[in-house]
Amino acid sequence: MNSVNLIGRLTRDVDMKYTPNGVALSTFTLAVNRPFKNENGEYDADFIRVQVWRKRAENVANYCKKGSKVSVSGRIQTSSFEGQDGKKVYMTEVVADSIGFLDTRNGMGSGNSHGNQQRNFNQSHEIQPSQDPFRNQEGTVAISESDLPF
């Protein structure tokens, strides 16, 4: 079985293109924290390339940007090509079947790419609306680059 589930933050804005047949393709890199600390007492992250196709690709490009927290469910795909130096280059990425938007909007999770309601998660614990530290804040929340884990 080839199945993967990830939660992380986008390392940069989504790159969306259309194939010659008009099919939308979005790609982005997801920073996923490891569940343990390194020898310096800090959490390391893995940077995983993700592909999203069709309507989900358009939704991700329209609603996500650098720093957005998302969940990804899909499958691992590997490919190879010959690099400029003539050596074979191998690439591994996740092809997403579903994307959940986990950033909060007005204290509630925004919908995922299927239009369903997505709950907010902080590590593995569900946050209730009464526990949301941003519940009384209106508009957008300013986050500096130093606040991001990558």
pLDDT in tens, 36-46: 888 898 888 99
> Please, are residues 17 and 28 in contact by the beta-carbon 8 Å criterion?
no
Report yes or no: 57 and 26 within 8 Å, Cβ to Cβ: yes
Nearest CA to 50 out of 67, 35, 36, 71 is that of 71
Over the stretch 69-126, which tens digit does the pLDDT of each residue have?
Answer: 999 999 999 988 888 899 998 989 999 999 999 886 643 444 444 443 344 333 334 4
CATH of the domain at 90: 2.40.50.140
Structural domains in the chain (count): 1
Cα–Cα separations (whole angstroms), residue 46 to 4, 19, 60, 123, 131: 14, 29, 20, 16, 29
The reported pTM is: 0.64
Range of the domain at 39: 4-147
User: Whole-angstrom Cα distance, residue 54 to residue 81?
Assistant: 25
